[in-house]
Structure 1
Amino acid sequence: MPDRTPAPARTAPAIRISFRNANISLKWGCLLALSVAFTVPLHAMHLPAAILIGPMFAAVVLAVNEAHLPIPGPAFLLAQGIVGCMIARSLRISIFSKVIGEGPFFLGGVLCVIVLCTLIGFCLARWKVLPGSTALWGASPGAATIMTLMSQAYGADMRLVAFMQYFRAAAVAIAATTMARGTTPVTADAASAFWTMPASWNAFGETIAVIVAGVCLAHMLRLSAGALMLPLIFATALQDTGLLSIDLPPWFLASGYAVLGWGIGLRFTRATLHYAARALPYIFVAIMLMIAGCGAMALALARFKHVSLLTAYLATSPGGEDTVAIIAATTPGVDMPFVMAMQTVRFVLVLFTGPFLARTLSRWVER
């Protein structure tokens, strides 16, 4: 009698895209196409970090599908120098006169934000949500790009730091934009002015010279995070003395951000992505606590310093200085000098205390 037992059903093979054997031109073509596909909708949502997050997402997609496409080291270092000059453009010494005028309460607000974010990062590290000092760098309330780049030089996992920093930057940008639009509408003309800024080619050439000089000197001296820090220091000093007018055309700035996004995203692996996905609920709660804590500080600041609640929230917001600057500049009724003074002071403090705090607290975590 023939066996009538039905044969086991054939399962469809899992579809898995692999770029391992693709030629280099195809890989670059896919990277550029995906970068545009991710960046355009993010920019349409008025997310200030879209020109970095979009290319980073595109690079992650290719990296987890085995596209080995390393970014040349000199290009990645020069991109860091571009970001250093971009930060220096808004970092004027005269802004610190606002700090002296506002007194201890101003500095207290800055320190409270740093303490809150550092404490949350310490808890994440203590509970092993992220390895080593990665959680401390990821929770640091400085500029996301700066903290991500510096973290690699001090032994943290730059991929996970980037994941936490940019996830927080996106959440803070959405919260701040929603609050700004709920108070006063954002003007489209001011937002588009960021992209239509005219460039002076003489000033642009001088800016490039500062970037190249700073990056080359950092490479010669083997300084950790020097490719970012030396152009930042040089450009700030030269600008403040009137010897340099920093000019970064939008296309040049966008290309630098794209290279950074690719350099970070292409380091991701499937294992790293799975690790980040498992940690996402804890990171989300930590970010909500940061936003809520800074919101409570904004209420106190608005009450005692007699500034608007929106001004106080933007001043204490744990997002990046560039994100807050764009939102503040495009929202009527915001005290821009107050916001930028508080954000700048916090950025400088985190910039110089971040490595020390990360090293010190990571030792406590390992005990």
Structure 2
Amino acid sequence: MTDEKRPHPASSDLVRWFILVLCSAAAAFLLAKLHFTAGLLVAPLVLAAYMAVRGWQTRVHNSLFAGAQATIGLLMAQSLTLPVLHEITLRWPIYLLSVFAVIALSFSLGWILMRLRIMPGSTALWGSSPGAASAMTLLSSAFGADTRLVAFMLYLRVVLVVIGTSVVARFALHPAHFHPLGGMPERLPHADALVVPVVLAITLAASFINFPAAAMLLGLASGILAHMLTSAALAPSIWLLAPAYFVVGWVIGLRFTMDVVHHAARALPAVLCSSLILIGACAALAIPVARIAHTDWLSAYLATSPGGADSLAIIAASSPVDMAFVMTMQIARFIILLAVGPTLATWLAHRARHLDRP
């Protein structure tokens, strides 16, 4: 009799999703009323993390996440027009120096954590990567790192960066002399009617490509190509961006299950401390970067922040910043990390083992 009255797991899961969607929408609306930057990302992220810690074990379907990333890729492409891309080629030393400075800071902290033996093996090195979180989590397993700890380190820092940069962007003063690399291009007429099939096609294509964030990069390339062919932006409206922001927030938040939190509890103080040090160091690095690049500090801060490119794209789009500068730096770091990150982490791990030999 008791079994008959017990709710079916699928219906219970559906009710929880309904509650999460409803609460995310209400919290995002409240944050918007308070003029909180990127409330559409922060609200679902925090609520999803709360529900995950409370024991709700579920995940966002890969296709839904790929669609969200494709939509955000199209958003990124709005700022990367041909004049902007030409301007970027003239400033390439600034971008490369800034990217490698952030990578050096990150792996230096990872090296220190590894030498202190707070985490097993090379886990601290992989978990210190300043971005490309999903890629680094996947790659770390092939090199003997604890993937749960790696994921916890990377996504905890993403959460800290998202909340921290949202607060900074909300209260930072925007200078009157600010001149971005380029303005936003005009949207294509009836853009959403074109965006939806493009996003669906990208989502399908990304499912056949074994490459991290393939949907985001395909969306970025599609948006740039559309602007080159039409001189207008294939730009999604807020009605398409808002669900994409929610999905990204849920994907990040739902990773913080009770199992993962318990597993990482011993290392939490060191991970939290190193993450805050890295965020602070990148904020300090933004001062000379802003001066050299002739941009404002907030743009340089978002550009050097060690979070995910997708989440920082959302914050940049919600803030009065030079989005082209931010996106170029974030995308450049993402690609460079995929190219050199695994090799660098492996070399440092071998180096540490060599030093430990008597």
Instruction: Please report the TM-score for the alignment, with normalisation by the length of structure 2.
Output: 0.71
**Aligned residue among 246, 249, 253 for 1:265:** 253
Q: 1:274 to 1:108 in 2, by over 3 A?
A: same
Tell whether 2:50 aligns with 1:61: yes
**Aligned residue among 246, 254, 259 for 2:242:** 254
Tell whether 2:200 aligns with 1:217: no
**Aligned residue among 328, 336, 340 for 1:353:** 336
SS in 2 for 1:328: coil
Q: CA deviation at 1:226?
A: 2.2
Letter paired with 1:226:
A
**Aligned residue among 52, 67, 76 for 1:87:** 76
Deviations 1:68-108 (A, max 9, x none): 44433322322222222222222334323334445745643
Q: What are the residue-to-residue correspondences of 1:204-353 with 2, within 5 Å? A: 204-242=192-230, 245-275=233-263, 278-301=266-289, 316=304, 318=306, 320-324=312-316, 326-329=318-321, 336=322, 340-341=324-325, 343-353=326-336
Letter paired with 1:67:
W
Letter paired with 1:358:
G
Letter paired with 1:92:
T
Q: CA deviation at 1:255?
A: 0.8
The match for 1:36 is: 25
Letter paired with 1:32:
V
The match for 2:158 is: 165
Deviations 1:93-142 (A, max 9, x none): 43233344457456434432343234334444554656777756665545
Unaligned runs of 5+ in 2: 1-7, 142-146, 177-183, 354-358
Root mean square deviation, CA, Å: 3.9
SS in 1 for 2:207: helix
Distance of 2:120 and 2:230 partners within structure 1: 44
Q: 1:308 to 1:221 in 2, by over 3 A?
A: closer
Letter paired with 2:204:
C
Distance of 2:247 and 2:54 partners within structure 1: 19
Q: 1:131 to 1:79 in 2, by over 3 A?
A: farther
Q: CA deviation at 1:270?
A: 0.8
Q: 1:248 to 1:277 in 2, by over 3 A?
A: farther
Q: CA deviation at 1:46?
A: 4.2
Q: What are the residue-to-residue correspondences of 1:118-133 with 2, within 5 Å? A: 118-124=107-113, 127=116
Distance of 2:345 and 2:138 partners within structure 1: 15
8 A contact 1:122–1:361 mirrored in 2: no
Distance of 2:172 and 2:201 partners within structure 1: 42
Distance of 1:57 and 1:298 partners within structure 2: 27
Distance of 1:75 and 1:99 partners within structure 2: 32
Letter paired with 2:324:
M
Q: CA deviation at 1:167?
A: 0.8
Distance of 2:259 and 2:162 partners within structure 1: 24
The match for 1:12 is: none
* Alignment length (residue pairs): 324
Deviations 1:145-167 (A, max 9, x none): xx344445535554542221121
Rg comparison, structure with higher value: 1
Distance of 1:45 and 1:135 partners within structure 2: 37
Distance of 2:289 and 2:13 partners within structure 1: 54
Q: 1:99 to 1:219 in 2, by over 3 A?
A: closer
Q: 1:308 to 1:354 in 2, by over 3 A?
A: closer
Unaligned runs of 5+ in 1: 1-18, 185-193, 330-335
Q: CA deviation at 1:289?
A: 2.9
Q: What are the residue-to-residue correspondences of 1:138-149 with 2, within 5 Å? A: 139-141=128-130, 147-149=132-134
Deviations 1:29-79 (A, max 9, x none): 322233235434544554434322322322233333343444333223222
Q: What percent identity do the matched residue pairs reach?
A: 27
